């Protein structure tokens, strides 16, 4: 018996039925933040351009970064001015985390999505494949299990402050105390002393 439809014909029918956003999908690249320091401030020069590139409200991105970086800031024209000296790599990681959480579809990976609010639940709706998922603001971050050693230098991220105002970082199973470091900073530190799971360090340039 002769087949009514061959493979190429059926494949073309499937392609014709796809939304234009899928048929003409180009590889999406997360925008690179143009970061510079002026005195004790950190400036993202292309902040508004990044928000436009990922098709999100600049205020939504702004509030996320303020929360994640643990600082304050203001939007000035195209720029976002942050209080404190924050490393460019940390800023970029937070932007990438925002895109993974609030932009990219978890099913097809398309950036052609939009945010919708239903009650108190924020939903990410994909225009390409139709997938809908609630936004999960927290993303699991892998932590290292490497053992700290006195006298060695490591790069850590300051996530909190102690009662005395010292920066606090997590490194595997260790809590690292760094005097003079600010919340939201990514710094290189030298381990001075280790007591069980607590380490005491100093910032190195």
Cα separation, 163 vs 150, in Å, equals 24
Do 99 and 30 contact (CB within 8 A), yes or no?
yes
Give Cβ neighbours of residue 129 (< 8 Å, ≥ 6 apart).
22, 105, 107, 108, 110
Q: What is the CATH number assigned to the segment(s) 153-203? A: 2.40.50.140
CATH topology of domain 35-134: Alpha-Beta Plaits (3.30.70)
Domain spans in the chain, listed from the N-terminal domain onward: 35-134, 153-203
- The DSSP call for residue 147 is P
Closest alpha carbon to 70 in 7, 162, 172, 159: 159
Residue 44's DSSP bridge partners are 35, 80
- Number of residues that this document lists for the chain: 205
Residues 93/112/102/122 CA torsion (nearest 10 deg): 180
Closest alpha carbon to 12 in 1, 24, 25, 23: 23
Can you give the pLDDT of all 205 residues of the chain as single tens digits? 445 556 566 656 655 655 554 444 456 788 999 999 998 899 999 999 999 999 999 999 999 999 888 889 999 999 999 998 888 988 999 999 999 999 999 888 899 999 998 888 899 999 988 899 998 754 434 444 568 999 999 988 888 888 888 999 888 788 999 999 988 888 899 999 999 889 999 999 7
Cα separation, 105 vs 46, in Å, equals 24
- Note the pTM of the prediction, 2 decimals: 0.60
């Amino acid at each position: 018996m002769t087949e009514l439809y061959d493979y190429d014909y059926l494949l073309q029918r499937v392609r014709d039925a796809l939304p234009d956003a899928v048929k003409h999908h180009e590889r999406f690249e997360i925008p690179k933040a143009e970061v510079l320091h002026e005195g004790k401030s950190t400036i993202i020069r292309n902040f508004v351009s990044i928000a436009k590139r990922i098709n999100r409200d600049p205020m939504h991105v702004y509030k996320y970064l303020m929360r994640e970086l643990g600082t304050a800031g203001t939007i000035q024209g195209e720029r976002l001015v942050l209080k404190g000296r924050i490393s460019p790599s940390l800023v970029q990681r937070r932007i990438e985390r925002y895109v993974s959480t609030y932009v990219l579809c978890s099913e097809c990976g398309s950036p052609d999505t939009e945010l919708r609010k239903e009650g108190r639940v924020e939903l990410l709706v994909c225009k390409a494949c139709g997938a809908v998922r609630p936004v999960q603001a927290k993303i699991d971050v892998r932590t290292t299990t490497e053992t700290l050693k006195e006298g060695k230098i490591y790069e850590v991220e300051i996530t909190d402050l102690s009662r005395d105002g010292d920066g606090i970082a997590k490194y595997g199973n260790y809590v690292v105390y760094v005097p003079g470091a600010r919340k939201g900073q990514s710094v290189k530190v030298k381990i001075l002393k280790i007591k069980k799971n607590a380490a005491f360090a100093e910032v190195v340039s």
